[in-house]
Amino acid sequence: MKTFLTLCLSFFLFTSCVDESNKNETKVVETSNNVSEDPLPSWNEGNTKTAIMDYVQDVTNETSENFIPEIDRIATFDNDGNLWSEQPAYFQLFFAIDRVKQLAPDYPEWKNTQPYQSILEDDLNTLMSFGEKGLLEIIMATHSGLSTEAFEKIVKDWLMVAKHPRFNKPYNELIYQPMLELLDYLRANNFKTFIVSGGGIEFMRPWVEDAYGIPKDQVVGSSIATEYDYNNGSPVIKRLPKIDFIDDKAGKPVGINRFIGRKPVFASGNSDGDLQMLQWTDSNRYKSFQLYLHHTDADREWAYDRDSHIGKLDQGLDEAREKGWTVINMKEDWKIIYPFQKSK
Amino acid sequence: MKTFLTLCLSFFLFTSCVDESNKNETKVVETSNNVSEDPLPSWNEGNTKTAIMDYVQDVTNETSENFIPEIDRIATFDNDGNLWSEQPAYFQLFFAIDRVKQLAPDYPEWKNTQPYQSILEDDLNTLMSFGEKGLLEIIMATHSGLSTEAFEKIVKDWLMVAKHPRFNKPYNELIYQPMLELLDYLRANNFKTFIVSGGGIEFMRPWVEDAYGIPKDQVVGSSIATEYDYNNGSPVIKRLPKIDFIDDKAGKPVGINRFIGRKPVFASGNSDGDLQMLQWTDSNRYKSFQLYLHHTDADREWAYDRDSHIGKLDQGLDEAREKGWTVINMKEDWKIIYPFQKSK
């Protein structure tokens, strides 16, 4: 959520795309049964693919000194910019902005109240001028005040109609095909796969099972406070306008410890916000694997790293080189980016 | 943790039993492969066993209108007094008291400082007189100030040497054989089993995998705050003297929502502290099952309910009767209590 509250709007030139005509939910489920002989067919041959497969073969080989018992095969994946795209802004921010517009008829005062007014006038420069405080207010207004059940439905409904400004596709189609294969490959080798993201946990859970095959209870994320209400025998959990936990940077090892209770052996991220998770994993007594995704493909996706306001990868890139962590060069290592680019 | 901080000491007549002679860790792992033809052999035939088995057979039957998809088969179990005993005091309190005594040489001032002095003098009436505030101070002194890794080792070491005052057995042998069979039976039917306990999450995780076959990431409990420390390249997560979350009463549905993200269909508890979890489960759109364990067996375990200061079951007992939830009568329904009572 913290990354979500940084000045991510500086790349922000888009129109909100809500298209009521497409109500079909996209389901992209890859199960281990579907793994072909090459478990990573969308990965080009090269050092990255070899490093991943060598590691998995080594630590799952009972005769290897690096063998890891199944219970300890914990793999954690960042989400934004790592399992799906995050440009030109975090997709959760598109959701929040669409939600402000959707709620606006019930809040006529927003027309003259900032930061809402700037959103309603598509004046994102002004929105940016309110900084973190303004964005926090928008998150609270759009993500709280309802039950967890109602919020889940709102997220699902949004995914059915909203379209990404560049690709004109539902956001949950902008997931990375090579990463789906990697998740499958790890699970086929009895790794338990988790999402550990700065994004909102209840923004992710409604769709990650279909998208990644990761069950809801294996999703760690930022959260707002909730409370139980017996509600005269129809109990609900209410979402409160208060931040509970920020699962970013040093929050990631804390979230991993809280939710998983075990140090990962495999960690995958794409930004400096993932650095502490990779460091934590790197300190495992078992042989561990640290994977950074470097966005190098402006043609097929985006190219950004040290100077980006979204998914900044600077210190992490240095530390990866220093420590010999594996860095995916998206342009070189990936045959395709998204599932809809698969040849039929 | 809140239950842990109530006046649980009123039944407290014991001597701390640390026996260095027994260093063998007890492992009681039941896997679904071991399930015999009767999946619940330690349960007497009767309404309780029949109700459980009828439910499981119904909701796993694809042709039943009550069929539940596997992903939604979430079963949550309280721990204290539900999977293991909780008398004459919560076992975590025995741990805390033993730890005060262990740490005392490093804190000579404790000899004259309350509430520590009362523990060191085995004067539990005085300890009780400090109420929640005193017990909270003891928890903070004994459960924080070290890394998560060091704390895990301390819990494991304690389980190897500490003995229960009545049974003179390691605490993790005082788990309920019939509940082990129930956990196995549910897992064999593709339920995912979770602990949802007021006890400390990091007090439970070191031993519940061996005891119950429940992995660490499927344990929800009370927690203290933690922080990540890079520690010059040897990162640790430090336990801070601050309560983070109380997973009891209305905290249980909140914890379930936060950690699991899905409403259970099966919930099992033994006290009023579990009532909200059972209510929450009862509101599932799927056919659900609510199970209360009623401690009715003073000879083989303990008998207590409405007037007990530990594991009080009063409102829950009324609501169970009113709503037709299943209530285990320990004395009538269970052939044996603990695994060490199994006939060889």
B209/A227 Cβ within 8 A: no
Task: Please give the share of chain A, as a percent, with pLDDT higher than 90.
Answer: 82
* Interface residue B205 vs chain A (CB under 8 A): yes
Least confident of A171-185, B34-48, B157-171: B34-48
Q: Three-class SS string for B59-128?
A: HCCCCCCCCCCHHHCEEEECCECCCECCCCCCHHHHHHHHHHHHHHHHCHHHHHCCCHHHHHCCCHHHHH
Helices (H), A78-173: 91-103, 116-120, 124-129, 131-143, 148-161
Mutate to test the interface with B, among A195, A258, A272, A282 (most CBs of B within 10 A): A258
B261/A202 Cβ within 8 A: yes
B148/A228 Cβ within 8 A: no
Give A-chain residues touching B226 at CB under 8 angstroms: 254, 257-258
For A221, nearest residue in chain B (alpha carbons): B258
Asked whether the predicted pLDDT for residue B186 surpasses 80, the reply is: yes
Per-residue pLDDT at B128: 76
Per-residue pLDDT at B127: 85
A276/B228 Cβ within 8 A: yes
Asked whether the predicted pLDDT for residue A247 surpasses 90, the reply is: yes
Work out the pLDDT band at A36, boundaries 50, 70, 90: low
Report the distance separating Cα A152 and Cα A226, nearest Å: 14
Asked whether the predicted pLDDT for residue A5 surpasses 80, the reply is: no
Q: Which amino acid is at B64?
A: S
pLDDT digits (tens, 9 = 90+) for B12-64: 323 233 333 333 333 334 444 444 589 999 999 999 999 999 999 999 999 99
Per-residue pLDDT at A4: 37
Work out the pLDDT band at A124, boundaries 50, 70, 90: confident
Work out the pLDDT band at B134, boundaries 50, 70, 90: confident
Cα dihedral B6, B333, B176, A260 sign: negative
B226/A254 Cβ within 8 A: yes
Q: What's the gap between Cα A210 and its chain centre?
A: 14
Per-residue pLDDT at A133: 84
Distance from the B100 Cα atom to the nearest Cα atom in chain A, whole angstroms: 25
**Between A216, A235, A254, which is nearest B260 by CB?**
A216
* Interface residue A230 vs chain B (CB under 8 A): yes
Per-residue pLDDT at B303: 98
Angle formed at CA B259 by CA B253 and CA B261, multiple of 5 degrees: 75
Sequence spans of domains, chain B: 4-8+90-161, 16-88+175-343
pLDDT digits (tens, 9 = 90+) for B206-226: 999 999 999 999 999 999 999
pLDDT digits (tens, 9 = 90+) for B283-319: 999 999 999 999 999 999 999 999 998 899 999 999 9
Average pLDDT over residues A166-178: 98
* Interface residue B216 vs chain A (CB under 8 A): yes
Asked whether the predicted pLDDT for residue A98 surpasses 80, the reply is: yes
Least confident of A201-210, A249-258, B87-96, B123-132: B123-132
Asked whether the predicted pLDDT for residue A222 surpasses 80, the reply is: yes
Give B-chain residues touching A252 at CB under 8 angstroms: 228
For B259, nearest residue in chain A (alpha carbons): A217
Question: What are the respective helix, strand and coil percentages of chain B, to the nearest 5?
Answer: 45, 20, 35
Please name the residues between 104 and 143 in chain A that touch chain B, using a CB distance below 8 Å: none
Please name the residues between 244 and 263 in chain B that touch chain A, using a CB distance below 8 Å: 250-254, 257-262
B260/A228 Cβ within 8 A: no
* Interface residue A153 vs chain B (CB under 8 A): no
Work out the pLDDT band at B68, boundaries 50, 70, 90: very high
| Structure tokens given for A211 | 């998208």
Least confident of A95-99, B138-142, B272-276: B138-142
* Interface residue A227 vs chain B (CB under 8 A): yes
Counting other chains too, the contacts that B277-282 makes at CB distance below 8 Å and 24 or more residues apart are: B277/B76, B277/B78, B277/B196, B277/B252, B277/B253, B278/B316, B278/B319, B278/B320, B278/B325, B279/A230, B279/A233, B279/A235, B279/B253, B279/B319, B280/A228, B280/A235, B280/B252, B280/B253, B280/B256, B281/B76, B282/B323, B282/B325
Least confident of A120-134, A324-338, B166-180, B233-247: A120-134
Architecture of the domain delimited by A16-88+175-343: 3-Layer(aba) Sandwich (3.40)
- Check: CB of residue B131 under 8 Å from CB of residue B7: yes
Residue with tokens 């979430």: B74
Per-residue pLDDT at B135: 82
The model carries a pTM of 0.89
Give B-chain residues touching A250 at CB under 8 angstroms: 227-228
Per-residue pLDDT at B1: 36
Instruction: For chain A, give the mean pLDDT.
Output: 90
Asked whether the predicted pLDDT for residue B2 surpasses 70, the reply is: no
Mark residue A254 as left, alpha or beta (left: phi above 0; alpha: psi -120 to 50; beta: remaining).
alpha
Q: Give the A:B interface size as CB pairs under 8 Å.
A: 92
A217/B260 Cβ within 8 A: yes
**Between A74, A218, A235, which is nearest B279 by CB?**
A235
